[in-house]
Chain A
Amino acid sequence: MPRRISRAALVTLGALACNNGLQPVPVCPPGFVGICGTVAFRGAVPDSTQAVFIVAFDSFPQTLSDLFKFKPASPVQLPLDRPTFAYAVPLPNGRYDWVLAVWQKVGTLTPQTAGTLLQETGFYRDASDTTKPGVVLVDGTRAGVDFVIDFDNRHPVCSYFPPCP
Chain B
Amino acid sequence: MTQLPCGVLLALLCVPVRAWAQATGVVYGSVSDSAGVPISDVRITSGRAAATSDVVGRYRLAGVPPSHAVLRFARLGFRVTLDTVAVPAGDSVRVDVTLRPGRFALEPVIVTAAKRSQLLDQSATSVALVSDSDLARRAVSTVDEAVDKAAGVLFLNGQVNIRGSSGFVEGLGSRVLLLVDGVPANEADRGGVDWDMVPLDEVQRVEVVKGAGSSLYGSAALGGVVNLLTRDVPVGFHGRVRTTAGAYADPPDAAWRFRDYVGGLGGLDATGSYGTEAIRGSLTLGGRHSDGYREQDRSDQWEGAGKLEWHPAPGTRVTASGSWTSHQYQVSPPWCEPGQCDDRGLAFQPFRIGISDTGAYTRSDKGYAATTLERTASAEFAWQARASWVRTHFTDFQPYNWGVANRYGTELRGTLRPGGDSDRVLTVGLEAARADVTSDIFGRHAENELSAYGEGERRVGSVRLSAGARVDEIGLVGGGLAGQLSPRVGVVWPTRFGTWRGSIGHGFRTPSLAERFSSLVAFGIRLVPDSTLAAETAWAFELGDAVSLGSTRLDAAAFWTEARQLIEPTFFDSGGVPYIQFRNVLRARLRGFDLSLVGRPFTPSLETSVAYTFLDARDLGIDSVLAFRPKHLLTLAADYAFRPFSVGGDFRYVSRIERIELGLSWADDPRVPAAVLDLRAGWSRDACSARLLVTNALNYIYSLTPGTLEPVRTVSVVLTWTY
Q: Chain A: residues with CB nearer than 8 A to chain B? A: 2, 6, 9, 13, 16-17, 19-28, 36-40, 82-86, 143-144, 146
Contact = CB atoms under 8 A, between A and B. Distances in A.
A22 B703 contact: yes
Contacts of B253: 23-24
B49 to A, nearest CB: 42
**Of B344, B601, B675, most A-chain CB atoms within 10 Å:** B675
Contact of A40 (B252, B339, B653): B339
A86 B651 CA distance: 37
A83 B700 contact: no
B343 A25 contact: no
Interface in B696-710: 698, 700-703
B667 interface: no
B487 interface: no
A85 B340 CA distance: 9
A109 B672 CA distance: 45
Interface stretch (B292-300, B345-353, B402-410, B528-536): B345-353
Contact of B702 (A22, A26, A38, A143): A22
9 contacts: A16-B673, A17-B651, A22-B701, A25-B670, A26-B345, A27-B345, A28-B345, A84-B338, A86-B343
B524 to A, nearest CB: 9
B636 interface: yes
B345 A85 contact: no
B339 A85 contact: yes
A27 B346 contact: yes
B651 A20 contact: no
A141 B140 CA distance: 46
B339 A26 contact: no
A86 B636 contact: no
Nearest to B671: A22
A9 B651 CA distance: 11
A84 B675 CA distance: 33
B255 A24 contact: yes
A19 to B, nearest CB: 6
A26 B256 CA distance: 11
B636 A13 contact: yes
A36 B345 CA distance: 7
A27 B670 contact: no
B426 to A, nearest CB: 46
Contacts of B651: 13, 16-17
A17 B256 CA distance: 21
A16 B700 CA distance: 11
Given A25-B348, A27-B345, A17 B677 contact: yes
Given A21-B700, A27-B346, A38 B339 contact: yes
Contacts of B345: 26-28, 36-37, 86, 143-144
Shortest 7 CB-CB contacts between residues of A and residues of B? A84-B339, A143-B345, A86-B338, A25-B347, A38-B339, A21-B701, A21-B700
Given A13-B651, A84-B338, A19 B673 contact: yes
A20 B340 CA distance: 26
A17 to B, nearest CB: 5
B338 A20 contact: no
Contacts of B256: 24
B706 to A, nearest CB: 13
Contacts of B350: 22
Given A20-B700, A38-B343, A27 B673 contact: no
B602 interface: yes
B423 interface: no
A38 B252 CA distance: 24
Contact of B672 (A22, A40, A146): A22
A129 B499 CA distance: 80
B701 A17 contact: no
A13 B652 CA distance: 10
B347 A86 contact: yes
B626 to A, nearest CB: 24
B337 interface: yes
- The interface centre, meaning the residue of A21, A83, A143, A146 with most chain B CB atoms within 10 A of its CB, is A21
Contacts of B347: 25-27, 86
A13 B672 CA distance: 16
Contact of A39 (B255, B339, B602, B670): B339
B337 A20 contact: no
A85 B338 contact: yes
Nearest to A38: B339
A26 B347 CA distance: 5
Given A21-B702, A40-B339, A2 B346 contact: no
A37 to B, nearest CB: 8
Contact of B346 (A16, A19, A20, A25): A25
Given A2-B602, A24-B256, A16 B339 contact: no
A20 B676 CA distance: 10
Given A13-B636, A27-B345, A20 B252 contact: yes
Interface string B442-458: 00000000000000000
A64 B347 CA distance: 37
A5 to B, nearest CB: 8
Contact of A16 (B601, B653, B701): B653
Interface string B324-356: 000000000000011110011111101000000
Nearest to A25: B347
Given A19-B700, A20-B701, 8 more contacts: A16-B675, A20-B700, A25-B347, A27-B346, A36-B345, A38-B338, A40-B339, A146-B339
Nearest to A36: B345
Nearest to B255: A24
Contacts of B700: 17, 19-21
Contacts of B339: 38-40, 83-86, 146
Interface string B661-685: 0000000001011010100000000
A54 to B, nearest CB: 14
A26 B636 contact: no
Interface string B45-72: 0000000000000000000000000000
Interface in B214-255: 252-253, 255
Contacts of A22: 350, 670, 672, 701-703
A26 B672 contact: no
A80 B698 CA distance: 40
Q: With a 10 A CB-CB cut-off, give which of B252, B338, B340 has the most chain A CB atoms.
A: B338
B227 to A, nearest CB: 32
A62 B605 CA distance: 83
A26 B675 contact: no
